[in-house]
Structure 1
Amino acid sequence: MDKNNFLGCLLGMAVGDAIGLPSEGLRPERRQRLFGELTNHRLFFGHGFVSDDTAHAIMTAQALVASGGDPTQFGRELAGRLKCWFLSLPPGIGKATAQASLRLLVGIPPEHSGVFSAGNGPAMRSPIIGLFCAADTDDTRLRTLVRASTRLTHTDPKAEDGALAIAKAAITLPAATELPQGPVSGYIVHTVAAALALTARHPDNLRAAVIESVALGGDTDTVAAIVGGLIGARVGHEGIPTDWLAGLIEPWWSEKRLAKLATQLAQVAHSGTPQRPDASFWLLTHALLLPIVLAHGFRRLFPPY
C-alpha cells in the first residue's frame, strides 16, 4: 500500500465522520424531518467537523508511525496520545473510552486499562491498522496490533473480533451480506455488520456508501467514518468527493498535514523504522466543536419530532 491508500483512508474517515455527525443518535424518520436527506455537510452553515472517530484514526496512525509497528511500543504510544486527547475535553466521547482514559491517567498500564465493553472505539482505530499490515505474509502482527488497540479501552472479546473484521476489510473486500435494518446502535457487532455490508455494496463509490450509512440512523458518524475509511483505502485521494473535502473544518489536521502522516505511514509500513509524526492540538478543535454540538442537542428538544 502506498501513500495514496493511507491518505484515502484518513480522508475517507474524516468526510464520513463529518457528514454523519449532525444526525448521530437520530432515528431515520426524525433525521428526515430535521434535515431531509443528508448528502452534504449540515453541521455548521454548510460545513462539517470531525469527531472522535477521525481523532482515533489519526492517533492510531501516529502511534504506528512512532512505534514502527512494534505491538508493545504501539500500545504505549497510543495510550499516551489517548490521554492527551482525553484531557482536551472531546465532546461525545464513549463511556468505555472515557473510563479507560481515566484509568490510564491514574497510572494503570495500557495492558490493563480497558473496561468490559463492546462499544465502537476499537473499530474506529482498525482500518488504518489493517492497511498498515497489508503487505505482511500472515496476520500475526495484524492480530497483535488490533489486540493492543482494542484492549487499551475495551476488553469484551466481541470488541476485538469486530475490530479485527474491520482491519481485514481494509485489505480484502468483504463478502456481500444483507444490510442490517437501522438504526445502528453503538454496539460493535451491529456497527461492523452495517459497515461491512455497505463497503461490499459500494466498494468504489464512497459518496453513495456514506449517504446510505447516514440514512440508516443511529450511530451515523461512526458507521459512515468506518465505511469512508474502508472505501477510501481502496479508491485513494482521488475517490474522495472534492466538495466534501472543501467543506471540512479541521483547524489542525489539514489535508496537507494528513498527507504528511500518510507518507510516513507508507514509509514505516515498508521499512519498519519509526519516525516522529506531527503532534496533535485537539483543544482548538474541541473548543470550536463543543458549542456547535450543544446547539444541535438543544435544537433536538423542539419539533418536528
Structure 2
Amino acid sequence: MALIACNPQVLLERARGALLGLAVGDALGAPAENMKPSEIRRRWGRIEGFVTDDPAGTDDTEYAIFSGLLLARHGSALTVAHVETAWHHWIADLDEGPFRGAGFSERGTLENLRRGLAAPISAQHRHAWSDGLAMRAAPFGVFAAGRPAEAARLVAVDGCVSHDGEGIYGGQAVAAGVAAAMAGGSTASVTAAALSVIPSDSWTARSLRRAVAAAQRDGLRPGSDPLAVEHAVRSAVVIGGYPWTDLAPEAVGLAFGAFVAARGDFTTSVLTAVNMGRDADTTAAVAGALAGAMSGEASIPADWGSAIGPVRGSCLPSMQGYHVLDIAELLTPDDDIEVMP
C-alpha cells in the first residue's frame, strides 16, 4: 500500500478532533459511569448531550494530558525510565491531593511506586488488566499518525509502569486505531489497525471482533432502533453480573463497537457509547478519540467542544490548567509527513 503525504493543517485538525473528542466523550459519559442502560433510561431517558450544568472531564482526560506531555517531551525516544520518572515527579512523589476518580489500576500503581517498586513490577496489582491505559492511549496515535505499529510500541512503553497483559493490549488497540484514523482511514481500516497490533487470541481481540461484528450486523441506519443496536453490541462483550466495569477488553470492545455502529459519525459514536453504560466515560472517550481523529475537530458539535475547558486537576493536581487542544498542538508535526492510508 502506497504512502500518502499529509500536511500539518490536516493533521492538526485531526489531532484536535482526537483529543477534544476524547475530552468531550469523557465529560458526556462521566455521569453515566457504572450504570446499566436501564438505569440511564430511568434517570434521563436517552442521553443526547451533557446532563450536568458544569460538564468536565475525569481522570481519563487528565491522564491523557499527562501521557501527551510525556510523549511531547521524549517522542519516539520514550523509555520506561522516562515514564517511571514522570509518574514519580508529577504524581507519586507529590502529596496525594484530591485524586478523585482515579481508577484501581492507577491507585495500585501509585501504591507500588511509593513502596519503592520499579517497572514492570509496579504494574503487578489486581487491576493490571484495566482500561486505564486505553483511556490515555489516544495521544500516541496522534503522535504516530499513520504508523499504528509505532503508536502501539510507544503506548506499551508508557503502560509498562501501570499495566500488563490485556491492559497493555487495550492501550495498543486504541493507539493504533487512532493512528489509522489520523491518516484518514475508514472504520474498517481503523479496526484492522487495532487488531493488527495485539495477539489475535487475546481477550481484547476477541471482544473487539465480537463487538464490531455485532455493530456491522445491527449498525445504525435510517429508522433503526438505537436501543437495539446498543443492546447487540453490549451483549457481545459484557460479562453479565461481573461487578467491575473497567475491564480493558470490555471497554475497548464497546468503544470500537460504538464507533463502527455509528460508521464513524462523531455524535452518534459517543452517544452510543454513553448510553451503553458500564465504564461510560472511558468508552465514550475512546469512541470520541477515534471518531474525532477520523473527521477532525469540525465534526464535534460546537457547543460540546466549547464546554471543555482546561482540566481542573481533580484527579491529578499537577495537570491543572492544561487543555487537551494544547496537547494536540504539541504532538502535531510542523512539516508534511507520509502516512499509510
Q: 1:133 aligns with which of 137, 144, 157?
A: 144
Q: Which residue of 2 aligns with 1:67?
A: 74
Distance in 1, matches of 2:272 and 2:93, equals 34
Distance (Å, rounded) in 2 between the aligned partners of 1:142 and 1:248 = 26
Report if the CA contact (8 A) 1:66-1:77 is conserved.
Answer: no
Residues 65 and 268, structure 1, Cα contact 8 Å, conserved in 2: no
2:168 to 151, 160, 175: 160
1:120 matches 2:131: yes
Residue in structure 1 matched with residue 63 of structure 2 by the alignment? 56
1:180-219 pair list within 5 angstroms: 180-181=233-234, 185-219=245-279
The within-5 A match list for 1:151-300 is: 151-155=160-164, 157-172=165-180, 173-174=190-191, 176-179=212-215, 180-181=233-234, 185-250=245-310, 257-267=323-333
What TM-score does the superposition give when structure 1 sets the normalisation length? 0.77
Paired with 1:70 and 1:227, the residues of 2 have a C-alpha distance of 28
Shift of the 257–30 alpha-carbon distance from structure 1 to 2, 3 Å rule, reads closer
Aligned partner letter, 1:229: A
Deviation by residue 1:16-71 (Cα, 9 ceiling, x = unmatched): 0011111111111111111221111113x2x3110011111111110101112312
Aligned to 1:282: none
Distance change >3 Å, CA 225–CA 251, structure 1 → 2: closer
Structure 1 residue identity aligned to 2:42: R
Structure 1 moving runs of 4+ over 6 Å: 253-256, 268-271
TM-score by length of 2: 0.70
Deviations 1:222-261 (A, max 9, x none): 1001111111111211111111123335455899943332
Task: Calculate the aligned-residue CA RMSD, in Å.
Answer: 2.8
Which moves more between the two structures, 261-270 or 112-121? 261-270
**Cα distance between partner residues in 1 of 2:255 and 2:329:** 26
Q: Which residue does the alignment assign to 1:90?
A: 99
SS in 2 for 1:98: helix
Structure 1: gaps spanning 5 or more residues: 272-305
Distance 1:120 1:82, change over 3 A: farther
Amino acid at match of 2:131: N
Which of 17, 21, 24 aligns to 2:26? It is 17
Alignment identity in percent? 24
- AA of the residue aligned to 1:177: A
**Deviation of 1:204 (Å):** 3.6
Aligned partner of 2:185 in structure 1 is none
Task: Kindly provide the amino acid, as one letter, of the partner of residue 196 in structure 1.
Answer: F
| Counterpart secondary structure, 1:42 | coil
Matched residue SS, 2:333: helix
The one-letter code of the counterpart of 1:264 is L
Q: Tell me, in whole angstroms, the C-alpha distance in 1 between the residues paired with 2:320 and 2:14.
A: 17
User: Aligned AA for 1:215?
Assistant: N
- Deviation for aligned residue 1:113: 1.4
Deviation at 1:108, TM superposition (A): 2.6
AA at the equivalent of 1:187 = L
Give 1:91 deviation, angstroms.
Answer: 1.6
Structure 1 residue 112, shift from structure 2 partner: 2.8
